[in-house]
Amino acid sequence: MTVVEQAGFRALFVPGPFRRFFASRAISLVGDAVVPTALALTMTELGHSQGWLGGMLAAAILPKIVFLIFGGIAADRMAKQRLMAASSIVCGSAQLITAAVLVSGTSLWWALLCQGVYGVSVAVGHPATFGYLPHCVTPQHLGAANALIGGWTGAAALLGPAITAACLALGGAAWALTFDGASFLLAAALLWNLPRGTTDTDGADREGISALRDGWRAMRTVPWLLRMTVVDSSILLLVSAPFMVLGPSLVAQRLSADAWALLMLLFAAGELAGSLVSGRMKLPRPILCAALSLLAMGLPPLCLAVGAGLAPLSVAQLLAGASVGAYGVLVTTAVQRSVPQQHLSKVGALSSVGSFAFLPLGYVMAPLIAAVTGPAPLLWAAAAWTVVSVAALASDRRLRMPNGPEGALTR
């Protein structure tokens, strides 16, 4: 490990744009961290079906998938700082309105609509966030910067359950959404007067399909990313979705309602550790290491399938969180170093769309399939699919070659 990498975390917090960009992301992530657990526990407490929970989760994700590519095109053509600020303002407003809907006791369909607006706004802003980081830090600090953001994602998720408990004590998910909305508005304020984050390119005037083709061509120059995107999609559909939808009620029945919040807390702790550790390591085969780490994703559904107790589930969640944290840092850093800046947001958007395209379907289909087969067969299949997916990635000869994404992996 080089001296630059060892001092990377400290160097990032000297006066400069990264400090405020990181603060903006950190506040927004804390707000978002309270919502999933609060919704899951509230839906269970109020007696709403697993289908309603899946629908609420899908309502925020489906618009992201539909509009994410447009956000990537916009981010590579416009000032990323302005897109991020505008997205934060709309997201904050949508969450505040959702909170008002829940407080008033209006039909849950209106809450679904508000979450759809939120998802559209995230789709516009997220690619700009992905592409803005190289404007804040030098190339040698990209790994450390991604580790900090990934680590804080885990730390925010650690804070989320505690804040959720306080919000639920005050009155339920509406308070969690109010907190989330306020955090988005504060995040937008922190972006004020930061560098615009524009990239001068010969293709800046290209629009629509032409710009999308440019992004696709850039993505094809990173062949390992295409394969990983397909595998990500299948794991989210067949592994993550069944666990997230079936897990809360199964854990509540077998253990206690509070156990699910604990499991989410442990996942976040693992994500924090995995992000920070992977950001400080110099690995000769980072993408292969990232792929192998995904094996841990199959442990939580496996534990649920065999009826394991709280202790094995806790260890499984901790390891799964660490795998997600390490995977995110290693892959994101490799992409940012391999793709030209003028195409970075589009490539990030295309990869995200490919990865999350079928996740809403998984949220909707998991309870329907479980109603026919029972939850255990579906969870067994999720664990088995994790092994199959990792084996498919590891079979790629390029991932086993040394020198990382800047060398053999991009050929």
361-392 tens-digit pLDDT? 888 788 889 889 989 999 999 999 999 999 98
CB-CB contact of 13 with 19 (8 Å): yes
d(CA 128, CA 372): 42
Give percent above pLDDT 70 in the chain.
Answer: 81
d(CA 108, CA 149): 33
Q: How confident is the model at residue 300 (pLDDT cuts 50, 70, 90)?
A: very high
Structure tokens at 141: 């600090």
Residue 261 has a pLDDT of: 74
- pLDDT of 39 above 70: no
For residue 383, what pLDDT is reported? Answer: 94
Confidence of residue 203 (pLDDT cuts 50, 70, 90): very low
Determine the residue type at 210: S
Predicted confidence at residue 1, as pLDDT, reads 36
Check residue 173 and give its pLDDT: 62
pLDDT at residue 38, as a whole number: 65
Cα angle 41, 46, 47; round to 5: 100
pLDDT single digits (tens) 21-38: 888 888 888 877 777 766
Exposure string (b/e) for 197-224, b if CB count within 10 Å is 16 or more? bbbeeeeeebeeeebbebbeebbeebeb
Q: Which amino acid is at 293?
A: S
Query: Which residues are CB-neighbours of 374 under 8 A, at least 6 positions away?
Result: none
User: Looking up tokens 């600020």, which residue turns up?
Assistant: 85
Express each pLDDT in 126-174 by its tens digit: 778 877 877 777 777 777 787 788 777 767 777 776 777 777 777 666 6
Buried b / exposed e along 122-160 (16+ C-beta atoms within 10 A): bbbbbbbbbbbbbbbbeeebbbbbbbbbbbbbbbbbbbb
Query: Would the pTM count as exceeding 0.85?
Result: no
Q: Which domains does the chain have, with CATH numbers?
A: 15-192+205-410 (1.20.1250.20)
Would you place residue 290 in the very low, low, confident or very high pLDDT band (cuts 50, 70, 90)? confident
Residue 316 has pLDDT above 90, yes or no: yes
The pLDDT value recorded for residue 3 is 36
The answer to whether 231 touches 290, Cβ cutoff 8 Å, is no
Is residue 153 helix, strand or coil? helix
Q: Is 171 left (phi over 0), alpha (psi -120 to 50) or beta?
A: left
Burial class of 253 by CB neighbour count within 10 A (0 to 12, 13 to 18, 19+): exposed
Query: Pick from 360, 365, 380, 303: which is nearest to 50 by CA?
Result: 365
pLDDT at 25 (0 to 100): 85
Residue 56 corresponds to which tokens in the numbers above? 């609420």
pLDDT at position 130 is: 73
pLDDT given for residue 407 in this prediction:
45
Q: Give the mean model confidence (pLDDT) for residues 88-109.
A: 81
Is 78 exposed, middle or buried (CB count within 10 Å of its CB: 0-12, 13-18, 19+)?
Answer: middle
pLDDT for residue 9 is more than 50? yes
Tokens of 146: 């991604």
Confidence at 320, pLDDT banded by 50, 70, 90:
very high
Q: Distance (Å, rounded) from C-alpha 164 to C-alpha 121?
A: 23
Q: Reduce the DSSP state of residue 198 to 3 states and report it.
A: coil
315-320: long-range contacts, CB 8 A cutoff, minimum separation 24: 317/263, 317/264, 317/266, 317/267, 317/270, 318/266, 318/267, 318/269, 318/270, 319/270, 320/267, 320/270, 320/296
Q: What is the pLDDT of residue 205?
A: 45
Which percentage of the chain shows pLDDT scores above 90?
Answer: 11
Give the model's pLDDT for residue 405: 45
Most confidently predicted of 69-78, 167-176, 247-256:
247-256
